[in-house]
């Protein structure tokens, strides 16, 4: 039997990147001594008021259909939080509630480009981006990274053609933790105006940036900026699937039609919990920032002095890239070898693009005992791996 071309576009390298992670999770569920550092799921509980709100709503019978675009109250709460963060004046009419930022990204890709079009994104990028952005039939164009994994702005300008419809990126970036600055955003904004482009910014980690704020184009170019966000990282709510898209009202109306086809509304009790989460956003974001600050420092200290291994500190987020080229290994070789010999799962940097192929991505947002044990095992692996020993002794 035949399948559509879509099934080819949503498979491939991005999906394959998770194979070791899924193997490690399965082994952990069997009771094996595995440490999983390959996914950004912080080792914190969802804030108690959020959980209690959901339970109360469930007990009160909040189990029926909800509006496709999200309840007015949750859309208004998202709009208030966005306005406070970046200064863009928006209302609930600019917001559509989705099942996480990943779902919102998928919706944006379908709404803004199609067959024959091109969309541009920056390397390194989250592994789901290629499939998500090409699901519409558009072609993904990868803008290379420059020093420090920051976007190469000169190269970016040369990649925009008459077919380009949108630029997509995440700030803070996953996996690098890079936060785009005002100068970089100025270049992007000028290109968008010159070429009439949409700008889609995934800000799922914005609350983890210093002070919970990042530079933004949303207030400067409201007619062409689409902002994606969620509660997954800031509130330790990865499993709740509570996210959103914010943009011009006409885009929001079209996104609502897509949400109707795709979701027909999301659980009302989760939306009510999201309202409680947004009401306590300042405290929740401060909690996760301090958690990540302490864990990052602990992880860096635990890896200190390993010959050939270079930890690269992020500006924000819960991930650290480890450059393993000094060990004579690629990211893929290091990730496979570490899991095979030490039962620690990390992500191969090549899953995020060519710029990080010599790295692995590690999530340090886990409990202290697991993090300390992981450092011990990484040190043991680097000391015992033949390439690592050879490079380290030379």
Q: Which residues contact 258 (CB under 8 A, 6 or more apart)?
A: 107, 110, 111
- The verdict on 206 and 293 lying in the same domain is no
- The verdict on 149 and 216 lying in the same domain is yes
pLDDT (0 to 100) of residue 16: 65
Residue 121 located in a structural domain: yes
pLDDT (0 to 100) of residue 125: 94
- The verdict on 233 and 115 lying in the same domain is yes
pLDDT (0 to 100) of residue 194: 97
Q: Which CATH number does the domain housing residue 333 bear?
A: 3.90.1150.10
Taking only the tens place, the pLDDT of each residue in 261-317 is 999 999 999 999 999 999 999 999 999 999 999 999 999 999 999 999 999 999 999
Statement: the pTM of the whole predicted model exceeds 0.85: yes
- The verdict on 27 and 129 lying in the same domain is no
Taking only the tens place, the pLDDT of each residue in 56-89 is 999 999 999 999 999 999 999 999 999 999 999 9
Number of domains in the chain: 2
Concatenated DSSP letters for 121-186?
EESS--TTHHHHHHTTSPEEEEEPB-GGG-B-HHHHHHH--TTEEEEEEESS-TTT-----HHHHH
Taking only the tens place, the pLDDT of each residue in 222-266 is 999 999 999 999 999 999 999 999 999 999 999 999 999 999 999
Taking only the tens place, the pLDDT of each residue in 23-64 is 888 988 998 899 999 988 999 999 999 999 999 999 999 999
Residue 390 located in a structural domain: no
Helix, strand, coil share (%) of the chain residues, nearest 5:
50, 15, 35
What's the number of CA atoms in the CB half-sphere (13 Å) around residue 73?
A: 13
Residue 147: is it exposed, middle or buried by C-beta count within 10 angstroms (0-12/13-18/19+)? Answer: exposed
* Domain termination residue (choose one: 280, 295, 329): 280
Q: What average pLDDT does range 161-172 have in this prediction?
A: 97
> Which one, of 20, 125, 10, lies nearest residue 347 by Cα?
20
Strand order in the sheet with 310-312: 310-312, 319-323, 359-363, 347-348
> Which one, of 339, 266, 223, lies nearest residue 66 by Cα?
266
What average pLDDT does the chain have? 93
Q: Which two tokens stand for residue 248?
A: 């011009």
> Which one, of 288, 338, 302, 268, lies nearest residue 38 by Cα?
338
Residue 284, preceding bond cis, omega within 30 degrees? no
Q: Which CATH number does the domain housing residue 191 bear?
A: 3.40.640.10
- The verdict on 113 and 252 lying in the same domain is yes
> Which one, of 327, 255, 319, lies nearest residue 41 by Cα?
319
What domain range is 196 assigned to? 48-280
- The verdict on 329 and 345 lying in the same domain is yes
Kindly provide the residue ranges of all beta strands, DSSP E only, lying in the chain, ordered along the sequence.
35-36, 95-98, 118-122, 139-143, 164-170, 198-202, 225-230, 243-246, 310-312, 319-323, 344-345, 347-348, 359-363
* Model confidence at 10: pLDDT above 90: no
What's the number of CA atoms in the CB half-sphere (13 Å) around residue 39?
A: 18
Q: How far apart are CA 382 and CA 308, in angstroms?
A: 8
pLDDT confidence bin for 387, thresholds 50/70/90: low
* Domain termination residue (choose one: 247, 264, 280): 280
Q: What is the CA 45 to chain-centroid distance, rounded?
A: 19
- The verdict on 154 and 301 lying in the same domain is no
- The verdict on 123 and 268 lying in the same domain is yes
Taking only the tens place, the pLDDT of each residue in 331-344 is 999 999 999 999 99
If DSSP codes are grouped into helix, strand and coil, which group holds residue 15? helix
In the chain, % of residues over pLDDT 90: 88
pLDDT (0 to 100) of residue 210: 94
- The verdict on 333 and 272 lying in the same domain is no
């Amino acid at each position: 039997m035949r399948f559509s071309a879509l099934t080819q576009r949503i498979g491939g390298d991005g999906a394959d990147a998770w194979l070791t992670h899924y193997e490690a999770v399965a082994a952990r569920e069997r009771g094996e001594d595995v440490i999983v550092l390959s996914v950004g799921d912080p080792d914190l509980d969802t804030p108690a008021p959020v959980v209690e709100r959901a339970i109360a709503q469930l007990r009160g019978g909040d189990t029926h259909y909800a509006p496709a675009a999200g309840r007015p109250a949750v859309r208004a709460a998202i709009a208030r939080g966005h306005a406070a963060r970046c200064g863009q004046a928006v209302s609930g009419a600019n917001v559509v509630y989705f099942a996480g930022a990943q779902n919102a990204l998928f919706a944006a890709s379908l709404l803004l480009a199609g067959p024959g079009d091109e969309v541009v994104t920056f390397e390194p990028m989250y592994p789901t981006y290629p499939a998500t952005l090409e699901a519409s039939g558009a072609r993904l164009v990868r803008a290379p990274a420059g020093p420090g994994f920051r976007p190469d702005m000169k190269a970016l300008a040369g990649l925009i053609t008459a077919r380009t419809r949108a630029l997509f990126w995440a700030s803070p970036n996953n996996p690098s933790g890079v936060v785009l600055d005002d100068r970089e955003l100025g270049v992007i904004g000028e290109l968008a105006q010159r070429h009439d482009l949409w700008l889609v910014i995934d800000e799922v980690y914005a609350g983890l940036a210093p002070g919970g704020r990042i530079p933004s184009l949303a207030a400067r170019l409201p007619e062409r900026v689409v902002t994606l966000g969620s509660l997954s990282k800031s509130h330790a709510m990865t499993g709740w699937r509570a996210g959103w898209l914010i943009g011009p009202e006409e885009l929001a109306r079209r996104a609502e039609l897509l949400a109707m086809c795709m979701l027909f509304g999301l659980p009302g009790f989760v939306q009510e919990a999201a309202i409680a989460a947004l009401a306590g956003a300042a405290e929740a974001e401060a909690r996760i920032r301090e958690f990540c600050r302490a864990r990052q420092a602990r992880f860096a200290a635990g890896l200190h002095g390993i010959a050939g291994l270079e930890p690269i500190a992020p500006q924000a987020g819960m991930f650290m890239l480890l450059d393993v080229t000094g060990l004579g290994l690629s990211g893929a070789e290091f990730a496979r070898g570490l899991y095979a010999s030490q039962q620690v799962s990390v992500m191969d940097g090549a899953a995020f693009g060519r710029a990080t192929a010599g790295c692995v991505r590690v999530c340090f947002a886990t409990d202290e005992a697991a993090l300390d044990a992981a450092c011990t095992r990484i040190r043991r692996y680097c000391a015992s791996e033949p390439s690592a020993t050879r490079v380290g002794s030379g």
